[in-house]
């Protein structure tokens, strides 16, 4: 039996978590007394594991200070989730698309720079948990673009690279797909520009859910 596996990134692909990320980053840098990088810079690191993201945003900070920002970010993000101020809406049409893919025989997975706790909460909030047969996060793997998350997802469900696709909004997703030998499909509604995704090797970039469905079914 051939397993068709579609693996999705989360932030910027499934859900729009931009405000939550930027707000938590602002709080984290303020807590350690460092100036916040520009919001454009913050947007561009979404998808990386948190330690690697901070290293890119503040490369001149001593490692101890970088780790302090990491911990402050985790605290701020967790606090926003607990007090109900965090908003991570699904992109319009995404829930219906996932249900159609699942009903059509696709095995679904997630590979994300979020934490296990964050991903579990996001999927549960939107009633998606039961749709995904395999989920992998930065808590258990090297940061994207290392292929570890995709390789583990394929191993979980016994899928082969030639019947697997990775759907994401950043160059990191595309590079991870190539490193794992799977097809990379970009989406235009996330954090990196379509021309960047194509230049990195995405086979195409979807502008809406109908186009994304056609590309996945490829």
Catalytic residue annotation: 9, 11
Q: Name 193's Cβ contacts closer than 8 Å, sequence gap at least 6.
A: none
Query: Exposure pattern of 35-60 as b/e (b: 16+ CB <10 Å)?
Result: ebbeeeebbbbbbbbbebbbbebbee
Edge-to-edge strand list for the sheet holding 5-8: 132-137, 107-112, 5-8, 164-168, 183-187, 204-206
């Amino acid at each position: 039996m051939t397993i068709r596996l579609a693996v999705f990134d989360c932030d910027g692909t499934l859900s729009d978590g931009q405000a939550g990320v930027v707000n938590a980053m602002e709080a984290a840098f303020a807590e350690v007394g460092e100036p916040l990088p520009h919001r454009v810079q913050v947007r561009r690191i979404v998808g990386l594991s948190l330690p690697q993201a901070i290293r890119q945003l503040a490369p001149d900070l001593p490692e101890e200070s970088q780790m302090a920002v990491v911990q402050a970010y985790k605290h701020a993000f967790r606090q926003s989730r607990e007090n109900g101020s965090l908003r991570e809406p699904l992109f319009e049409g995404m829930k219906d698309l996932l249900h159609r893919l699942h009903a059509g025989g696709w095995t679904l997975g997630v590979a994300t720079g979020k934490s296990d706790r964050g991903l579990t909460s996001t999927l549960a909030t939107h009633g998606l948990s039961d749709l995904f047969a395999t989920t992998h996060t930065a808590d258990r793997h090297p940061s994207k673009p290392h292929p570890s998350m995709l390789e583990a997802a394929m191993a979980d469900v016994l899928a082969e690279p030639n019947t697997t696709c990775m759907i994401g909004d950043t160059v990191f997703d595309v590079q991870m797909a190539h490193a794992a030998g799977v097809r990379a499909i970009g989406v235009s509604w996330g954090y990196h520009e379509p021309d960047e995704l194509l230049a990195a090797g995405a086979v195409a970039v979807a502008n809406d859910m109908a186009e994304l469905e056609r590309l996945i079914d490829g």
